Amino acid sequence: MPGGSVAKPIKVGVIGPSGRMGKAVCGLLLDGAHAGERAGLELVAAWSRSGQSAELPPKVTVTDDLEAFIQAVDIAIDFSRPETLLDIAKACVAAGKPLVSGTTGCSDEQLGALAGYAREVPVFHAANMSVGIALLRHALAEVASRLGEGVDVEIVESHHRHKVDAPSGTALALGEVVATARGQQLDEVIATGGTGSRDDSSKDRIAIHSIRAGEIVGEHDVRLVSAAEEIRLGHGARDRGAFAGGALRAARWLVEQPAGLYGLDDLLQLKE
């Protein structure tokens, strides 16, 4: 062919096309206005428990057969529930296919099982797929590592009323960044909900507050407050496209990687 051959697009499959994030990912893959974000990717299949999706065009195969779905794609993108995620990961291992997942609320045991599957195939997992959040974590690590003692840390996260887990996985990850910078274990210093007045025993606490209201896409604010000054770092997602775009970027990158468990820090080559 004149001009050389054209690379075949990466065949993408989406888990849960009717969910909030599933719709956002499918929308980016199908919308001609987002050609840059979906470059090199093609939505070919979706997996739904009902085997149906009214939102997708006929060219996209929708099935309730997980194994057949995985076989039909080059990579799967998942924003489901922790118990479903492990079934998907197991099917990906059986088929030798990579997996991108933004599923939140996973227990340590479930994350350990996912890491085990990642020894067989490339797995990309992030509690928040936003590139902006990854950069916020990086900046927070820099700030927290240079602050002295006597700094109160308050993290406030806001999401839509339907979000099940609280605090959010992202808020916990931000708390982990601060705890690590201080040489602490987050589970030993975390306080959730209102903190009220602080005494000497609570001065090293990392407080996380959760708000569930309306249709808030996602907001995270970190306040580091000393007696003399305050530093504020934050991120607000105005559209679920922020997360969907991160998932597509991860998918395009992951198909070139060997087996292993990856995250946004790997994708963006960030080091804390």
Q: Which of 144, 159, 146 is nearest to 235 (CA)?
A: 159
What tokens were used for 104? 């939140």
Pseudo-torsion of CA 253, 258, 259, 261, nearest 10°?
-50
Is 170 exposed, middle or buried (CB count within 10 Å of its CB: 0-12, 13-18, 19+)? buried
- From CA 250, how far away is CA 101, in angstroms rounded? 10
Name the percent of the chain in helix, strand, coil, to the closest 5: 35, 25, 40
Half-sphere exposure (Cβ direction) of 13: Cα atoms closer than 13 Å:
26
Q: Which residue has the tokens 């559209």?
A: 239
- From CA 166, how far away is CA 162, in angstroms rounded? 11
169-182 vs 131-144: helix crossing angle, rounded to 10:
20
From the candidates 23, 159, 209, 220, give the one annotated as an active-site residue.
Answer: 159
Q: Catalytic annotation on 163? A: yes
Is 112 exposed, middle or buried (CB count within 10 Å of its CB: 0-12, 13-18, 19+)? exposed
The identity of residue 123, as a single letter, is: V
Which residues participate in catalysis according to the annotation? 159, 163
